[in-house]
Structure 1
């Protein structure tokens, strides 16, 4: 009975042999690659060393050649001078050519650096191109029949008759020069005009910035003047006088928008409203809700506008919620103003311009419109019935006034006069004219 060899063992042995052979092959391949890499690196190192040696030898050669060139140039110069002294033409020509060649050889690097520094490649190309064009034109006239043809044509021309034509061309040239001069003058005018416009715009912007700085300084100054250290209102008579003086001064130095900003600040700060005062020190009385109590009949304002705004131009500005009561706005320009909720009771609007103004919620009087009447110089106002609490609207212009309420329209028609009644939107038909004129 024969025993067969184990097939599994033989397969394992074959796999081991294959793995051993594969590993040997990998080791052999890696060794060859390392040898190739080391050989290439050695070759590169030798090449670098050779290049460095060539550079060093070249620099040393240049260093050695430079004194020789100077020596040869000096000898050539001496030869030229000697030939001039002894009057030897042959020796002089040789010395001159040698001197010129060696000198150019010495100066060539410097000239090359100068050209590269002062002239860009494009400039050099243009220069060479121009030289080529000039030489080409000269050659064209020299080696073709173009030059002789021009000469023959010139002999046939009657230059005496052409003199008149030349005069005509001269006149045309003068006309062209005059036209160019006019064009240059016109361009100068346009440029100067543009510069003037830009300077004016810059001046306007600077004025706006300066005005805003002035207004901010005024706000801070008034606040420091009428407030104590605790932030409470403390306006003694002299302080009120100084505040009014500063306000009158700044109104005369700002435009309409600046005046509107100041009025909004003073109104929202309650500095234009009549405040209730105690009977001993004259200090403002708090109303118990975080503000100061108003007293329209006997109150004292921190700043009384008086006639500061008489004839003022406040057109196209925002005057919402401003307190202009009892102010003198005679002949003031309030056109296109936003007067929503503005208080104009007892305000003098005689001959004022209110065209296109927004009068929504504006107060011109207190009480009922049927009983209200304009302010009086002799009679005190009655804020319950409305007598003598109204604004003076005689000769005012209400053309195209916006959102005028019925009560406001009734009061204006009653006390504005015949001239103003024709400008009130909606007309005044059926409303009596109590002014009588």
Structure 2
């Protein structure tokens, strides 16, 4: 079994190397924006968009052009990888997986990638890595790099440079531990497992919200692009970085614990983008409870549900387990004792009381139990080749077991 894994470290570059990396990231940003503007122009003129090979020919012209001679100072492969990123963004757009590509801005996602492992040298004993046109760079060696190096990405975040080394290695097929569990995501409880375990929310943004607001207010009082404005902006960036680091750390610890102790995990197929849409409405049709919905949206986005699912997916694969996503409809309205479905069963955000049989339990725990049952039903359907019902609790037999439609 082949495993692709990335190892990320903080770089400790010299002043000259920092200047070079900023120039390389700026060159990649310029090439991306220039190629995107060219594609838009060709589309407006009714011409077909250029493919990756055609853009690479233009890149050679741009590097040799007297108008942009500084492009020749940047390594060629990272510039070509930028064009590949643009091609992938177009493919995702036409496949309706993403929005139309947007122009890159300075200071946002500054990075560049070296795709050729032959040009990369890794000296783990001395904690340094060699990259073309940058030389040897020292990094904080917090753990050993495992596997064969495939590519290296250098990125800037909150004033700190990082290197991400992607490797590939062969491992034995892992054997999963534990049984199956359902997980219900929420705001009051971050994740509730069907066995009764639950994880409290970290709310990293809420914890730093006051400090962030004060830093942004101080930044707004500075003259834009002045020295003091840049210092205030760096302060805001550090707070945002602290928020993101705390959230990722919490998600990694939680998903690692769940994936190592369960062979099958069932979760809701939540559409976070739709759940966190604004309720403002328009002037003709204003929304209702706008302030309350805004606070709920902020709490939902503060949890990191999509990142939780992404981490859980690949960690379960590494552990030999499986992740199953089930439709979220009626998972918190279905009684696990008698299968009665009613909106009145959910008397409050936290309490579940069945109006048919009188069963009472925490609403999040009920949702996790129903999610697990729906996951078992989906597994049975996949084995038998049948089609899963569209929602949990909407198609059950008298015995309460979920049935599959032929």
Structure number with higher strand proportion: 2
Q: By the TM > 0.5 criterion, same fold? A: no
The alignment's TM-score, normalised by the length of structure 1, stands at 0.18
Structure number with bigger Rg: 1
